[in-house]
Structures are given as structure tokens and as C-alpha cells.
């Protein structure tokens, strides 16, 4: 059973389809934010003053289904796809299944506005037997994503995979890698040459074992390039070299096991996994922050990201 409250309303049900509660446009959390449900588009539209977009709660590509910057008024999301989209639940020796997308497509999710955030509740299903709550919070030049999984049974070596389909106007992908001498070095990946080619960057040796433990199925026809060095921080950057606008994904350092992505021609997915040993009765929480901003140049972008990282880590710890 799921119970939702907002603005004096109450929803209770065991089987709910497309349940919606609409809150006022302005919120105490972000005074300049305009956020409301649109009957016309069947999604939550938001305007922070710097960013305009929509949050789709109940299709295959739920998440940020459109994102436009005030300084560059073109959508950076591939049409009919999304950013911050929960795609797979992953388990050892179990072929991947797009269970979050299936629940969303079948309109089994429950969603509402609460305190300036869009909450999307994914019900328990028989395979994994847990519920998942995603909270999307637009703020100024970024969107925060908070995930809470409430398991009813133990699942060791569990991961949930998130995808973001970034349009090819942001034609560079950067990641910070840990070198052998312990120094962080940013690398621009060569990941836009072969259609459907996959790049992967793991956190450490243990995370590397997850890649080959059967969770991705018997094999893939796609070329997979696994970086030799682990990431130093779980950060992904998609950058437009012409405008210097960039989308920066800051990911929870405690829970991120993998950075990944795939070139599709019209977009390049920028993906990651949150992973942990699920224990019945103990919530799994993780956070991501997606920043969309113009940076003066690449060196100043790196410096700004380091400053943003320190702030993000404090927020993620306090979630």
C-alpha cells in the first residue's frame, strides 16, 4: 500500500495508475521555481529561471524528458528519451531486466509534488521485492536526484542502472581517472566513433568483478571498452566544445560502482550504477546532481567542478 499526502489531500491504494497530486507553483525550497503538473503534456513542467524542462513520471523514458538552458534555447535531450532515467535492476547471474521502465510504462508508478520536488514511487514487484522512490528537485542551474530503495529481502551485490541520453551537440565526454601514482587526471574519452560502442569505468577491483558476473546476460554484440584505470571521483561530463555549455553528473561517492555510456549516433548515453548489498529492512539511499552550465574553458570547468564536488558531497552525506 502507498500513501501520499499534499496540500491537504490523501491518496491510499493497493493498485494505483497515474495518481497525481498537484502542489502550488512556488515553493519554500526554491522561491524562483515554477513547477506544476501539465494536463496537456502529462508531465511536470519546471522553470528555475536558468533552466526549463519537464519531468516525465510514467513512460519507458521517465525522468528529465526535456532540458533547455536560458543562454542556449535548444533541448539537449534526445527526442522521446530522458536524463536521470532508472533503467535496470542488476543482480549476479541474472540477466538484466528493465523493470523500472516496465513499471513506469505500465503506469504503476505513483507521483506527486512535495516541497519543490517531484516524487515518483515504484511499487514492489515479484522479482526483486522492494520499492524504489525517486525524487527530482530542479534548482537554479541543476537538478538533484535522490533515490531510496526499501528492500524486503537480502540481495547481495545489487545495482540499479541509470541512463541519460544526451544529444550530440554535447560532443565531448570527460571523466576523472585515478593514475598509478595516485594523481587525478581528467580524460576526454574517444567514445563517439563506433555506433553502439560502450565505455565503462569502474570504481575499484571489486566493482570490476560485477561487470563479468552474469548480470549483463550471456554476451553483447556491441564493442565494450573498459578503461584500465578506475575513476577517482564518480563524475561524468558531457560538453559542447562550441558553446562551452556542459552537463555535469556528480554521483554519490559511497554508492557509485560504475560509470558507463553508449554512442547511438544522435545521442550518447551517460550512465552509472548505484550499488550495494541490499539487506531486508535497511534502506539504500543514493544521490546524483546534474548541473547544466556554461564554463569559460576546460581548465576553469575542472576547477568549478572540484568546488561543486565538495558542496555536493556534504549534501549527499546529509541526505
8-state DSSP, 171: -
Low-confidence ranges of the chain (pLDDT < 70): 1-29, 219-220, 319
What Cα–Cα distance (Å) separates residue 160 from each residue in 137, 147, 240, 277?
20, 10, 28, 12
What pLDDT is attached to residue 29? 56
What pLDDT is attached to residue 212? 85
Q: What angle do CA 182, 183, 187 make, to 5 degrees?
A: 120
Q: Strand pairing of 19-21 and 110-114?
A: parallel
What pLDDT is attached to residue 97? 87
Task: Determine the straight-line distance between the first and last CA of the chain, rounded to whole angstroms.
Answer: 25
Taking domain 14-318, whether its CATH number is 3.90.800.10 is answered by no
Query: In sequence order, what are the beta bridge partners of 64?
Result: 55, 83
Q: What is the DSSP string of 117-148?
A: EEEEEEPP-TTT-EEEEEEEEEETTEEEEEEE
**164 contacts: CB under 8 Å, gap ≥ 6:** 63, 64, 82, 83, 84, 85, 247, 249, 269, 270, 271, 290
8-state DSSP, 97: E
**176-210 residue pLDDT tens:** 999 988 899 999 999 999 999 999 999 999 999 99
Q: How many CB atoms lie within 10 A of CB 272?
A: 28
**9-47 residue pLDDT tens:** 333 333 333 344 333 344 445 778 999 999 999 999 999
Run of H or E residues at 113: strand 110-114
Distance between CA 137 and CA 186 in Å, rounded? 28
Amino acid at each position: 500500500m502507498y500513501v501520499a499526502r499534499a496540500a491537504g489531500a490523501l491518496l491510499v491504494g493497493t493498485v494505483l495508475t497515474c495518481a497525481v497530486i498537484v502542489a502550488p507553483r512556488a515553493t519554500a525550497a526554491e522561491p524562483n521555481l515554477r513547477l506544476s503538473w501539465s494536463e496537456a503534456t502529462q508531465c511536470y513542467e519546471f522553470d528555475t529561471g536558468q533552466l526549463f524542462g519537464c519531468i516525465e513520471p510514467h513512460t519507458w523514458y521517465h525522468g528529465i524528458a526535456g532540458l533547455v538552458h536560458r543562454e542556449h534555447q535548444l533541448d539537449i535531450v534526445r527526442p522521446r528519451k530522458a536524463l536521470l532515467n532508472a533503467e535496470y535492476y542488476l543482480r549476479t547471474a541474472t540477466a538484466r531486466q528493465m523493470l523500472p521502465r516496465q513499471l513506469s510504462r505500465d503506469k504503476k508508478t505513483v507521483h506527486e509534488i512535495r516541497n519543490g520536488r517531484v516524487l515518483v514511487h515504484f511499487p514492489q514487484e515479484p522479482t526483486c521485492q522492494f520499492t524504489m522512490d525517486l525524487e527530482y528537485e530542479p534548482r537554479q542551474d541543476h537538478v538533484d536526484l535522490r533515490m531510496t530503495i526499501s528492500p524486503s529481502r537480502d540481495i547481495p551485490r545489487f545495482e540499479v542502472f541509470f541512463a541519460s541520453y544526451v544529444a550530440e551537440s554535447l560532443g565531448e565526454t570527460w571523466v576523472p581517472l585515478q593514475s598509478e601514482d595516485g594523481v587525478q587526471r581528467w580524460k576526454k574519452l574517444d567514445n563517439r566513433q563506433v555506433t553502439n560502442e560502450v565505455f565503462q569505468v569502474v570504481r575499484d577491483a571489486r566493482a570490476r568483478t560485477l561487470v563479468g558476473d552474469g548480470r549483463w546476460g550471456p554476451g553483447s554484440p556491441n564493442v565494450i571498452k573498459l578503461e584500465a584505470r578506475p575513476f577517482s571521483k564518480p563524475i561524468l561530463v558531457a560538453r559542447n566544445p562550441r558553446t562551452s555549455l556542459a552537463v555535469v553528473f556528480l554521483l554519490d561517492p559511497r554508492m557509485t560502482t560504475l560509470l558507463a555510456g553508449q554512442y547511438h549516433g544522435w545521442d550518447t548515453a551517460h550512465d552509472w550504477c548505484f550499488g550495494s548489498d541490499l539487506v531486508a529492512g535497511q534502506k539504500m539511499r543514493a544521490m546524483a546532481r546534474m548541473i547544466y552550465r556554461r564554463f569559460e574553458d576546460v581548465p576553469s570547468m575542472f576547477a568549478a567542478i572540484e568546488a561543486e564536488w565538495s558542496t555536493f558531497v556534504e549534501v549527499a552525506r546529509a541526505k
